[in-house]
Amino acid sequence: MSLARALPALVVLAGWAAASMAGELVVIASTDPAVKIGTIIDGKQSMRVADNASVVLISSAGKRVALSGPYSGAPQPAALSPDKGLVESLSQLITKHADTPAKLAAFRGADKPVPATRPDLWGVDIAHAGSYCLPADQDATLWWDGARAGVLVSLSGPTGRARELRIRWPGGKQHMPWPKEIPLSDGGDYVVRFHARDPGVALSTLQMPPLDTNAARAAWMAEHGCTRQALKILDAIARDQLEPRS
């Protein structure tokens, strides 16, 4: 092929590459009725946010983007990540749970303050059965929203009470370190009981791999069954209560 014929082809390929590198974002919180949560938006396309409304998005690179109305423009024209997996995963999570009791307060436009440091985001909620995804770079904790000082709680494996550990809950706290007497394992199953005849709350733990952003953590949680945690993480991101990487 001659140089004269090759140059137009290279120009076309360069244009295609630039288009393919356009980033996408997903809406995780919105007080603008016209901007629906869970919507995936092309970062190079113009969008509008109504006066006195606000919209929070997460980019395909896991970055938080907050827009306040009145706003008109491209939310992230310089986005360069072609990976759609993150935004698609978060979009599915949000749209599936936005109309359930588990939906985020931020989605409803609520402004109830919550503490910036929340052990419940990364810990095991002993009052709710299910799977819990634990970061490799943080010590595991037990979380109990209804904690009462001095109450005895038992923790054991699911096959019986031979290795049951009775824990006296510390005063003034809703969380405590995972007890060293009970081994914590990836894919481990446990049962928490609050009294002798309690059938127990079944819990399982999964070890998360190292991830660059909290948005990526939320997506990983959602994909591995840790839905309650994933929704809480997104809520904290929407409220700007987490560091970009904690």
**Packing angle, helices 214-223 and 85-97, rounded to 10:** 60
Which residue is associated with the tokens 């970009």?
A: 244
Question: Architecture of 119-207 per CATH?
Answer: Sandwich (2.60)
**pTM for this model (two decimals):** 0.80
Neighbours of 130 (CB within 10 A): 15
Cβ pair 107, 37 in contact under 8 A: yes
**Strand duo 130-134 + 201-207: pairing:** parallel
Q: In this structure, what DSSP letter does residue 207 have?
A: E
Which residue is associated with the tokens 């690179």?
A: 61
Burial bucket for residue 124 (CB in 10 Å: 0-12, 13-18, 19+): buried
> What is the C-alpha to C-alpha distance for residues 232 and 107, in angstroms, rounded to an integer?
12
Look at residue 58 in the predicted model and tell me its pLDDT: 93
CA nearest to 208, candidates 187, 231, 183, 233:
187
Per-residue pLDDT of the chain (246 residues; tens, 9 = 90+): 443 443 333 333 333 333 444 589 999 999 999 999 999 999 999 999 999 999 999 999 899 999 999 999 999 877 555 567 899 999 999 998 866 433 444 444 444 444 545 788 888 999 999 999 998 888 899 999 888 888 899 998 766 555 789 999 998 889 999 999 898 889 999 999 998 788 899 999 999 999 889 999 999 999 999 998 999 899 889 988 876 554
CATH 2.60.40 residue spans of the chain: 119-207
